[in-house]
Amino acid sequence: EALQERYRVGSLLGRGGFGSVFAATRLSDGAPVAIKRVPRNRVRHWGELPDGTSAPLEIVLLDKVSTGFPGVVQLLEWFELPNNIVMVLERPERSQDLLHFIRARRFLSEEVARELFRQVLEAVRHCTSRGVLHRD
Q: How many CB atoms lie within 10 A of CB 27?
A: 12
Residue 36 is assigned to a ligand binding site: yes
Catalytic status, residue 136: yes
What pLDDT was estimated at residue 17? Answer: 79
What pLDDT was estimated at residue 68? Answer: 75
Using CA atoms, how far apart are residues 128 and 73, in angstroms rounded to an integer? 15
Using CA atoms, how far apart are residues 24 and 31, in angstroms rounded to an integer? 9
Enter the pTM of the model.
Answer: 0.86
Looking at the chain, the number of H-run helices and the number of E-run strands are 4, 7
Q: Which residues make beta-bridge pairs with 34? A: 23, 89
Assess whether pLDDT exceeds 80 at residue 15.
yes
Cα 131 from chain centroid (whole Å): 18
Longest dimension (CA), the chain: 49
Question: Which of these is catalytic: 29, 51, 63, 136?
Answer: 136
Over the stretch 84-122, which tens digit does the pLDDT of each residue have?
Answer: 999 999 998 777 888 888 999 988 999 999 999 999 999
Using CA atoms, how far apart are residues 37 and 31, in angstroms rounded to an integer? 19
Domains present along the chain, CATH in parentheses: 2-94 (3.30.200.20), 96-136 (no CATH)
Over the stretch 18-72, which tens digit does the pLDDT of each residue have?
Answer: 899 999 999 999 999 999 999 999 999 999 999 999 999 999 999 999 877 888 8
Higher per-residue pLDDT: 4 or 85: 85
Assess whether pLDDT exceeds 80 at residue 134.
no
What pLDDT was estimated at residue 93? Answer: 79
CB distance 13 to 34 below 8 Å: yes
pLDDT band at 3 (very low <50, low <70, confident <90, very high): confident
What pLDDT was estimated at residue 133? Answer: 86
What pLDDT was estimated at residue 63? Answer: 94
What pLDDT was estimated at residue 136? Answer: 62
